[in-house]
Amino acid sequence: MTTQTANHNDYISPEPAPTPFERQWQQLWQEIELAGGRYQYVQQQLVSQGFMVDRQPVDNMSPKERDRYKKALKKEATEERILKKSAWQAYKAHHMVYLGRHVYWSDDTSTDKWDVKNAANRLIENKLPLLSKHSELAEAVNLSIPQLKGLCYQREVATNLSYSHFTIAKRNGTARQIWSPIPRLKFVQRWILHNILNNLMTHGAAHGFVRGKSIVTNAAVHSNSELLIKLDVKDFFPSVSWRRVKGVFRHTGYPEQIATLLALLCTESPRQVVQQDGVTYYVALGDRALPQGAPTSPALTNIVCLNLDRRLTGLAEKLGLRYSRYADDLTFSVPAIEDTTPKSKAKTTIKATTSTAKKQADTQHNKLIGQLLGSVHKILREEGFALNNDKTRVIRKGNQHNVTGMVVNGQGVPRVSRQIKRMLRAAVHNLESGGTLRSDETLNTLSGYAAWIASAEPELGHSYLARIERLQVQQETPA
């Protein structure tokens, strides 16, 4: 999944340079606004340029006069068509007009019954930009109106997209589809992320892509568990349609126009890549949804899942469980019961732990698992999601408990598994001794493992990172 970045220096600002046509339409639209509208502008131009003809009855005209009168009317009509066409072009250059099939759009900015009460106050309370017109949004993200429209327009079949497409392999060997936004769109999405989404409420159970939280904080919730239940939401990002995203922005306090544009900027249709006659076509397969690869997608899922997290937290508390969510990974656990038995009675306690007692515990756990899975299925369905049954895992006591890559057995802090540490120690030692890496290893992959260790055990992880950095310098230095 895409990780958020707090580094603003890598933003690529579009800084649009108006074309001569755009400057022409901009100047013309200013004149139209001064005139009071397109109709008034056309009428004023016809009068000022001498094309407006006074209407007169033709009954008393001579044939020559009637002919001159008709020619003057025809000339007026021709000039009126030219002026109307130019006015319409100027209007389109400053308005959205139409954003594609299945997208409702109106340039009317008047309020409607779905607007949030005291919307401006809500935006101010959440420290969000005050935007009420599409032109204000375009200016905020440093785009011209045509550029903004181009990023929002829904194309059913396209030869060019605002996303680049590639795949990465999943653990099970299947391909994960990644749609990475082009620099201009990525700039806009990061603006939305940092100025709007990061200021909106998420549930405390959400740990993925939340400031101050990580895979370590997610794993720490489930330290020292009797039973670990790991679930996965099926097609997590694609399940969040652009209309649900629009609802997020509407609920935040933005009007219909702005909420529609923000939702379109954060979503894209799932597409099939088709080659025909040497041309690549991107064919929409369904409604727009959150793409995996956009910087806004993880934050939007956390906001959309606010009620889901509330309900699953309540369910967990009712069943005596602990719950956390990291993106599409749902984790529940039964906390281990602390052993307060005096040491003098330890032998007696061990003898009392018979196979019958273990069977009873397993029976209770199985009943609990059944209750949990049934309720989670129902809640997910009601919240617009579905469970990926193939990825459901139940890990009992005595096995390694692994949550978001961290081992959480016992009461210690989450940690990377011993196997990973041994592998990294052996690889680094081998290189320092003059050896070589395996064919499936690189210094970058070793750095990734070291950074992973550093997230839970900073001292150990950073010592490995320093050693790997020295090895990289040695490899880059000519002999």
- Does the domain at 202-237+295-336+366-414 match CATH 3.30.70.270? Answer given as yes
pLDDT in tens, the chain (479 residues): 333 333 444 445 555 566 777 788 888 999 999 999 999 999 999 999 999 999 988 888 999 999 999 999 999 999 999 999 999 999 998 999 999 988 999 888 888 878 888 889 999 999 999 999 999 999 999 998 989 999 999 999 998 889 988 887 776 667 777 889 999 999 999 999 999 999 999 999 999 999 999 999 999 999 999 999 999 999 999 999 999 999 999 999 999 999 999 999 999 999 988 999 889 999 999 999 999 989 999 999 999 999 999 999 999 999 999 999 999 999 999 998 765 545 555 454 454 556 776 777 788 899 999 999 999 999 999 999 999 999 999 999 889 999 999 999 988 889 999 999 999 999 999 988 888 888 888 889 999 999 999 998 999 999 999 999 998 888 877 65
Q: Which helix (H) or strand (E) holds 230?
A: strand 225-232
User: Distance of alpha carbon 12 from its chain centroid, rounded?
Assistant: 18
Q: Residue ranges per domain, the chain?
A: 20-94, 119-199+241-289, 202-237+295-336+366-414, 418-476
Q: In this structure, how many other beta carbons lie within 10 angstroms of the beta carbon of residue 215?
A: 19
Predicted TM-score (pTM) of this structure: 0.85
Closest CA to 96 of 66, 65, 68, 138: 138
Could you tell me the CA-to-CA distances from 346 to 11, 220, 349, 351 in Å, in that order? 62, 29, 5, 9
Burial letters for 366-380: b for 16+ Cβ neighbours within 10 Å, e otherwise?
A: eebbeebbebbeebb
Q: Residue with structure tokens 């409420």?
A: 201
Per-residue H/E/C for 140-170: HCCCCHHHHHHHHCECCEECCCCEEEEEEEC
Q: What is the pLDDT of residue 7?
A: 40
Q: What is the largest CA-CA distance in the chain?
A: 129
Distance CA 138, CA 347 (A): 74
Distance CA 114, CA 217 (A): 38
Distance CA 405, CA 359 (A): 30
Retrieve residue 154's tokens.
Answer: 């829904």
Three-class SS state of 271: strand
